[in-house]
Structure formats: structure tokens, C-alpha cells
Amino acid sequence: MHIRRNHRHTSPTPLPGRALTSARTPRTGGALLAVAALLVSACSAGASTTSATSAADVALGALPRSTPAALAPYYGQKARWRDCGVPGFQCATLRAPLDYDRPAGGDVRLAVTRKKATGPGERLGSLFVNPGGPGGSAVGYAQAYAGIGYPAEVRARYDVVAVDPRGVARSEPVTCLDGPDMDTYTQTDTTPDDARETAELVDAYKKFAEECGARSARLLRHVSTVETARDMDIVRAALGDVKLNYVGASYGTFLGATYAGLFPGRSGRLVLDGAMDPSLPARRLNLDQTAGFETAFQSFAKDCVQQPDCPLGTKGTPSARVGRNLKAFFRKLDAHPIPTGDADGRTLGEGLATTGVIAAMYDESSWAQLREALGSAMKDNDGAGLLVLADSYYERDADGGYSNLMSANAAVNCLDLPPAYDSPEEVEKAVPTFEKASPAFGKGLAWASLGCAYWPVAPTGEPHRIEARGAGPIVVVGTTRDPATPYRWARALAGQLTSSRLLTYEGDGHTAYGRGSACVDSAINAYLLRGTPPAPGKRCS
């Protein structure tokens, strides 16, 4: 399974400071079972051990400036806008080639939405937005948040535009498991204690992969980040924009950086918030993210013990002890799941409980909800609160249905990078390293790194640097205690992009724009509206 790297604003709640009580969301992909494979991929078992150093000589190359004749029909499209049923928004459907190497071999349909600039002031063009994932619906994000919650001065000057990436939501979604099978999958024990439990986990990964292959065979080889970036350029052309302006969060930063690498001359004002490092292999990415969740948990722990309702300790309890208390709670659930009152009979075991805690790490405004949920589970034997958090992460609705977030997340991640590990034996050896990075989450996240080993199609990407030589200034934003995209990734991406400016937010939570920092927001707004990037070394708190 894969950790989602999604911007929390993908939640239906339209404004910053959301709690996770609604059905979802950069973030990103399927919590513990979904928890940890990443980015762009190639193929062999040996490739899975690629180091960051070996990627130093591999850089994403720009595509030719001229449009190939075979792609002219796609670039010549014009969007035919229609009412979406969402106030203020229009929708359209555009086409892209399923396979860019064989454009005549069939199409994929792309769902597009926009909210036109409200004025006053000169229109600056389209502002594409993406919330992350991979698998997050950009259309849903724009309609629920960006198109109404971005700063008024930005919405006045830009048409807010979103495209669901191929395989996601409204753009021919990848499908894998149905609701009942997803319920079973998300309850699988991700911290196996013996050979039987290991075999059950491997079987869960295999079934997920086999069902994806059976239900989405046409798309599964063609949902890479590179292909999605090329799709965005077709949409840019269809909208009549000379350059693409873009705000991407979390995984959306990798998508935006990939666009800049492929089309540096067509890259306008790009904001990459909660950045990823494309030069790292899946194994390193997963380990870094494990450490990121531990950093976030330590912040939560310090805050928790200051509160009267903290179930993990009292004032003065060291953070390490808080972590041990949480791990002891997980072990108890591993042996004896507790009731949740769920209509479908689901109980709260270690896997769902861990997912619920991880979900709350994305946004410090969810910490109070997490304390309450942990208190109910630990003191009253009631797992309902943690189940709500886990369901929000997996995007499960009240009727037992799931969005295709988890399916798309796995499909993109497993295509973008060689698998982190190729066998249970490799994971066993890695568990101590992961547990050192995070005593509470490490074992589960190590085993979550195994999912792509059984994927039905070979990866097509590899770790690489993105330089985007020739692009204008690109703003990279990093949050110092970001759980899902550690700050070091932002520094790394900023170091690769030749025209980057790194904006640092000293704080908690995943991503920074629109999360309450006037310093961050004013710096990004100035860049989007006037093209003025932040000063070198700019830091906000």
C-alpha cells in the first residue's frame, strides 16, 4: 500500500483549518496498506536498490519545442464548456493519446473544470491546481476549495483550472477492489508476527494487484506522471494559454516539476508546495516519509501532554514515553481488535488504528479530534473515532463505497518507480531501520513498502533529477515538520531546479499555502500576481 501525498484541502470542507471528519483526504494514497511506494519507475529487482547518488547523472530531458505532427489533433482541440452543476464552475472533456509513443492507438478522456476570473484587474490566464496523491481529484479540489478558497485577489486575476489526471476520478478512473473487498484489504494486518500473517499480507497485495490488472488493463501501463504532465500541456493549449501557471501540493509538486522538466519554455509561474524529491528511489522515499511521520508525531506528543484530555500521557511525560504508549496500544489492538459500532461490522485493529493516527498527522487542526478518538478507544473500548479518521484517509463513504484514490495511488506509484522491496525477506531485514526512524509506525510502514513488488505491469520510470533549464522562476515551498513530504525533499528539489526559490515555513502540518501563515500566503500571492519570487532564504512561521 502507499502513503498518499495529498493536500488536505481535497476534503469537501472548503476552507483552511479543516478537521478530518469529512470523507477524506496529499492526502494521498492508501494509508498503511497504501502507505509507502513512490514515484517514477523502471523495472528490475536491482533497480529497487538504486541510491540517490546513482540518480545524480540522470536528469529528466526536455521534449522538443515543436509539436509532433501525430499530436497535432490533440493540440488543436478547443474546450467546449458546459454547466457542471456546481455554482460558478464550467466543465469540459478533452482527449489525450493513451500512448504517446503510438498516438493513433486510442484516446484517454480528461475531465477539466474551471472557474473564470472574477475581476477586477487584467486576467493573467489560467491557474492550474493539483492537490496531490497521486490519485487526488484535481476537479474535486478546485470545486470544493481552490476555486472558492484561494485568496480573492488570485481568483480575481486567474481562471482556476483543474484536470483530473488520467486514471483518477472523472478521467477514466483505474478500478481495483469493490467496497467489501476494500474493507477487507484495509483491515489486513500490516505488522505480521509469523509466517502465516506474512503470507496473508502478501496475498492481500497480490489480490489487489491482480484485480487492478483485470479491471483496468487498458490504462494500467499509461498512468505515469510523465504522461499526466504531457496531458496538462494539451489542456494548456486547448485553453489558449501560452504558458502554464500552476499550484501543486504534495505529489502535485512532482507533477508540476515534471511538467517544467519536459516543457521549460512553456512553464509560467509554478508553485510547488510540500515538495517531493524525484532523485530518490522508492526505498529511500519510504524511509524518509517514515521519519517525517515520526517528526510530526513528536510534535503531536508534545502538544498532547499539555492538554487535559491526552490519553497517552500527562504534563511532563517525555515524548518517547508517549510513543511507547501508542505502540503498546497498537500491540493490544493487534491481538484484540475493538468494536466500532460500524454498520458493516468492522472492528478496529492495529492497521486501521495506525491509519487513523497517520491521517491526523497531516494537519495540526486534527490533533484535538485525534486525542478524543484515542481516548475513546483506549479508555472506553470504542474505536469509532479512529475509524472515522481512517475512513477519511481512504476516502470511504458512509455507504461503504470508496473513491478510486487508493487504486490510482497504487497504479501511479508502481509505474513511476521500481518497487522498494521485492520479497518479504527483504522487508524483514529492513524493519529495524524503519523502526529506528519511527518506533510507533516503522514496522507497518516497512511492510507497506512491499505492495509494488506484485504489480501486474513493469514500472516505466526511474529516480532522476529535474533541472528544468530555461524555465522562469519556480517557487518551492517546504514545511519544516511536514509529515508526508519531509523538508529535506523541498531543499533537494530546490537544489535541482535551476531557477528555483525555496520558501520555508517553520511549522507543523502538510503543505503551507492557505494554512494560516500570512507570511507564506503573501509571498506566494506576490509571485502569482506580479511574478516576484520570494527573496533568497525567505522563512516564515
Query: Is residue 195 packed enough to be buried (19+ CB in 10 Å), middle (13-18) or exposed (0-12)?
Result: exposed
Q: Where are the alpha helices (DSSP H) in 216-338?
A: 225-238, 251-262, 282-304, 319-335
Alpha-carbon torsion angle 464, 512, 26, 328, nearest 10: 110
Backbone angles phi, psi at 245, to 5 degrees: -100, 145
Would you say 13 and 258 are in contact if contact means Cβ atoms under 8 Å apart? Answer: no
Nearest Cα neighbor of 278 from 497, 14, 527 is 497
d(CA 420, CA 441): 17
In sign, the C-alpha dihedral spanning 217, 221, 222, 223 is positive
Residue 250 is a catalytic residue: yes
Would you say 467 and 500 are in contact if contact means Cβ atoms under 8 Å apart? Answer: no
Q: Which of 250, 279, 366, 449 is catalytic?
A: 250
Would you say 61 and 39 are in contact if contact means Cβ atoms under 8 Å apart? Answer: no
Backbone angles phi, psi at 357, to 5 degrees: -65, -45
d(CA 110, CA 227): 12
Joined grid coordinates for residue 1: 500500500
- What lies within 8 Å, CB to CB, of 522 at 6+ separation is none
Q: E strands, 369-448, where?
A: none
Alpha-carbon torsion angle 153, 158, 159, 162, nearest 10: -90
Q: E strands, 22-131, where?
A: 82-83, 90-97, 107-115, 125-130
Q: Which of 366, 510, 517, 521 is catalytic?
A: 510
Q: Which residues pair with 540 in a beta bridge?
A: 505
Q: Where are the alpha helices (DSSP H) in 165-224?
A: 179-186, 195-215
d(CA 489, CA 504): 12
Q: Which of 482, 499, 500, 521 is catalytic?
A: 482
DSSP assignment of 46-74 equals: GGGG--TGGGGG-BPPPPPSSPPGGGHHH
Residues involved in catalysis:
250, 482, 510
